[in-house]
Every structure is written in C-alpha cells, then in structure tokens.
C-alpha cells in the first residue's frame, strides 16, 4: 500500500483541526494556517514555495541547521542498519554519545568530578527524572523553581513551570516558586542584580519548605519566559543557598545549551556554577527526538536499586544524529558564529529600539534574543496586541519568530546557529518594516 500525502494548505489545516485534540488548539501561532514543506539550514519553504528565515529554530530544536546533511546522513545510515535498539542492550552509538556529552561537563577544581548520562525521549522526561534523582539522592521532597520558568508538559515538569498558561489541574506538589530575577520588569525594579533575588531564595526556603530541600531547577536563560538572563552571581548564589539547605542545583539547558549563548557550551558556565544535574534536549539532535539527564555519578547512584527506562531514550538513530551535531558544532565553529552573529543582531535590535517606542526592552545573548513590546516605556505595560500584529507582519516579511513571555509580549529569536551576517540585515530590516506597518495601520 502506498500512502498518499496531499500537500494542500487548506485540506491539511482542516484535517488537523478536525482530528487534533483541543489541547493543541491554542498553540497554533498564526491567524491563517501555515504548512512548511522543506527546510535547509536557517531557511524554510512553505507549501506554496515561499521562503522564510526561521528565527524560531522550530522551537530551538534545530541547532545546526534544517536537514543538515551530516546529521541527516548519520541518522539515515544508522536507521538503515538498525533503527532501534532498546536501552537494555549494549550499542556503541549511545555509549559514544554519553561519553562525548560527559566530556563537555566541568570537572571541578580538583578535576575529579565524574558525569554519567541517562537518555530520555524528551526534555520534560529529563526534567521529571532530574527531580526524581534529586529527591532520591537528598531524601528531601521540596523543590524550588522560578516564576516564568518553562520546563515541559509532563506532570512533574509542569509542577516546576511558573507560567500559568502551561499549568493544568492535577500536578504533583512540593514545589515553591521564587521570583525570576528579571532585570527589566522584576519585582525589585530595573537592573538590581542578583542580591535581592538570592535573599528571596533564603526567605522561600525558610517559609514555604520544610527547610530541607531536594533542589532548585533553573533555566540558565529562561526561554518561553521571554529570554530572561540570570544576572551575574544568581546561579552560583542560588547553588550555594540550596546546598546549605541540603539540596542540589539542577541546570535546565534545554534551550540555552549546545553553544547557543555564544560564550559557552552550557549557559550555566556564564556564572561559573557547578551543577549537580544538567537537563538537555531539543538542539541535542537537531530535530530527532532525544533528551538527556547528565548527572554527577554519586547523584545518579541511588537509582540503581529500581528500574527506570525510557523506550526510545537511547535510540541509536537519534543518538547518531546527536553525535553528528557535536561534530558539526565543533567543525563549523557554531558557538563562535552564535556569538558573532548574535552580537550583530543584538546591536541591530537595539538600534530598532532607539527608533520604535513600542520596543520596551531588547535582551539576550548569542542567538537567544528577544524584544519586548510595551504600551508605554514608563509604565512598561505589556502590549500583547502589538506583539501579535508585529508577529503576523513578520510572517509577511518572510520571518518566523515566536511570541513568548507570561504576557505574550516578547518576540523571541532562537534561530539555527548557522544564521549569517547577511541574514542579520534581512531580519532587522524585516522587523523594522513589520513594526512600521503595524504603527501605520
């Protein structure tokens, strides 16, 4: 039997609307449906042949470029030989990837910190496992998480997600939230640094926990929260305070990892913090499903007494893609490109801010950037309506962005890390035109 694929925009939209559950309705980004047919590096083509620059990186999954030939080649070769091999058997591809990921982790001042890897199917499963590991290792239940954090859709990952639109009834408890150290609109005002937010961690431990905690989970740069960078000293200070209460530091690198911030392979390195557990997914395999928990050997050890297995976790096809990603990152100097091109894009966005009052803030690092739209720069009232209109107008200008943040007032840019200097001009010009067209409407 041959399966016929119909590349018809309206028919595809109608079929999806008819057969997808309501739980996936709100997530459709544009007013009019869009179907992508092809991708190549930082570009996408829709079903009608129109070209776009993908600043969303298909939700940060595309780290080194759409359909990157080396990644696709490695995955196809593996799929043809053996598509899947369940985790309980030995296979060289995931074993190599585990070794290579462990090698990217900090070794500590004495050089003796050892890291081990547990592959999962997704980032949220990795978050769930990280929480279970922290609770098992410490014997404590309470976990701290940050407001405006996003950690995924599974129940435990939702329980540490601090954006209400992503939280559904029935999540497990034992989570206390601390304010996100947002240097633009945080509760302590503008550019106050880490100190008052670190005090909040102490206060929260003293008031909303049993005073013995399992850990804190921190996105090194909040992604869906609207690109919220952790100020200098926050991650290391949080680790210190959490350890004093018996807990572990969990770094969520699902969005900020793999060199995207430009300066480092892992976002937590910006603050010199030594995590106990690192969670990763998305860019790890450039679009193939894979997640991983990378933990200090002693932290993972207590789980040896029971079974824990994710069916596709160490799938050799996804892991072959993962190994190719690491190779391409190094060979094509993608981290350096993220730093250089991201720096140029940031400067162009700052220039747009100087010319458009609707842009309240521009922020981020490397190729993890955002602009935040406000009704008034003084009051900083979030402007969701203008953000949506600019987002739609960017589509017309051939740019795919993401609406993010708790007020959906941020335009997030997390493109494949192969974005070029030429693209920077196209992107800045396109956003400029989009804002002008919305202002004139």
Please state the closest distance from residue 168 (CB atom) to ligand PLP, in A: 15
Please state the closest distance from residue 210 (CB atom) to ligand PLP, in A: 26
Q: 180-209: which residues touch ligand PLP (CB under 6 A)?
A: none
Stretch that binds ligand PLP, among 145-153, 174-182, 296-304, 384-392 (CB under 6 A): 145-153
Q: Is 150 in the site for ligand PLP (CB under 6 A)?
A: yes
Which residue's C-beta sits nearest to ligand PLP?
123
Stretch that binds ligand PLP, among 119-127, 204-212, 349-357, 387-395 (CB under 6 A): 119-127
Candidate residues 117, 127, 163, 319; the one interacting with ligand PLP per rule CB under 6 A: 127
Q: 212-231: which residues touch ligand PLP (CB under 6 A)?
A: 219, 223-224
Task: Please identify, using beta-carbon distances, which residue of 215 and 360 lies nearer to ligand PLP.
Answer: 215
Candidate residues 63, 104, 122, 315; the one interacting with ligand PLP per rule CB under 6 A: 122
Tell me which residue of 158, 176, 237 sits closest to 212, measured CA to CA. 176
Number of chain residues interacting with ligand PLP (CB under 6 A):
15
Q: Is 145 in the site for ligand PLP (CB under 6 A)?
A: no
192/194 Cα distance (integer angstroms)? 7
Stretch that binds ligand PLP, among 122-130, 237-245, 304-312, 316-324 (CB under 6 A): 122-130
Tell me which residue of 62, 11, 124 sits closest to 258, measured CA to CA. 62
Please state the closest distance from residue 123 (CB atom) to ligand PLP, in A: 2
Q: 52-111: which residues touch ligand PLP (CB under 6 A)?
A: none
172/232 Cα distance (integer angstroms)? 32
Please state the closest distance from residue 206 (CB atom) to ligand PLP, in A: 28
Q: 281-320: which residues touch ligand PLP (CB under 6 A)?
A: 281, 291
Q: Is 404 in the site for ligand PLP (CB under 6 A)?
A: no
Stretch that binds ligand PLP, among 123-131, 296-304, 394-402, 429-437 (CB under 6 A): 123-131
Candidate residues 39, 123, 257, 366; the one interacting with ligand PLP per rule CB under 6 A: 123
Candidate residues 66, 151, 264, 407; the one interacting with ligand PLP per rule CB under 6 A: 151
x/- letters, 237..266, toward ligand PLP (CB under 6 A): ---------------x-xx-----------
Please state the closest distance from residue 378 (CB atom) to ligand PLP, in A: 32
Task: Please identify, using beta-carbon distances, which residue of 131 and 393 lies nearer to ligand PLP.
Answer: 131
Binding site for ligand PLP (CB under 6 A): 122-124, 127, 150-152, 219, 223-224, 252, 254-255, 281, 291
């Amino acid at each position: 039997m041959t399966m016929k694929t119909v590349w018809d925009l309206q028919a595809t939209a109608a079929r999806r609307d008819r057969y997808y559950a309501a739980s996936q309705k709100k997530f459709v980004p544009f007013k009019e449906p869009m179907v992508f047919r092809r991708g190549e590096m930082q570009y996408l083509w829709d079903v009608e042949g129109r070209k776009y620059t993908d600043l969303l990186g298909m939700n940060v999954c595309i780290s080194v470029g759409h359909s990157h030939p080396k990644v696709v080649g490695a995955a196809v070769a593996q799929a043809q030989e053996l598509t899947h091999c369940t985790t309980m058997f030995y296979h060289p591809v995931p074993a190599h990837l585990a070794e290579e990921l462990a090698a990217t982790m900090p070794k500590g001042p004495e050089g003796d910190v050892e890291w081990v890897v547990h592959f999962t199917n997704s980032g949220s499963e990795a978050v769930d496992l990280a929480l279970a590991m922290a609770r098992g290792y410490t014997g404590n239940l309470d976990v701290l998480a940050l407001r405006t954090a996003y950690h995924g859709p599974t129940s435990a990952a939702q329980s540490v997600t601090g954006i209400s639109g992503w939280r559904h009834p029935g999540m497990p408890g034992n989570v206390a939230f601390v304010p996100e150290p947002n240097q633009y609109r945080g509760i302590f005002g503008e550019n106050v640094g880490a100190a008052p937010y670190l005090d909040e961690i102490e206060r929260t431990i003293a008031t909303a926990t049993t005073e013995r905690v399992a850990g804190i989970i921190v996105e090194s740069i909040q992604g869906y929260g609207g690109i919220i960078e952790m100020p200098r000293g926050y991650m290391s200070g949080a680790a210190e305070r959490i350890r004093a209460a018996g807990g572990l530091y969990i770094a969520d690198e699902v969005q900020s990892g793999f060199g995207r911030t430009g300066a480092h392979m892992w976002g937590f390195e910006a603050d010199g913090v030594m995590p106990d557990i690192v969670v990763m997914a998305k860019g790890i395999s450039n679009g193939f499903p894979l997640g991983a928990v990378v933990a200090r050997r002693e932290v993972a050890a207590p789980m040896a007494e029971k079974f824990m297995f994710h069916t596709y976790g160490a799938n050799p096809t996804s892991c072959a893609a993962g190994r190719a990603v690491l190779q391409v990152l190094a060979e094509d100097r993608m981290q350096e490109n993220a730093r250089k091109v991201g720096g140029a894009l940031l400067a162009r966005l700052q220039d747009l801010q100087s010319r458009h009052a609707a842009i309240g803030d521009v922020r981020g690092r490397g190729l993890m950037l955002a602009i935040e739209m406000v009704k008034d720069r003084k009051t900083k009232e979030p402007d969701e309506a203008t953000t949506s209109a600019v987002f739609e107008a960017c589509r017309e200008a051939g740019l795919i962005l993401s609406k993010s943040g708790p007020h959906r007032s941020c335009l997030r840019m997390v493109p494949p890390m192969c974005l070029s200097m030429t693209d920077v001009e196209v992107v800045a010009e396109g956003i400029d035109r989009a804002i002008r067209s919305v202002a004139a409407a």
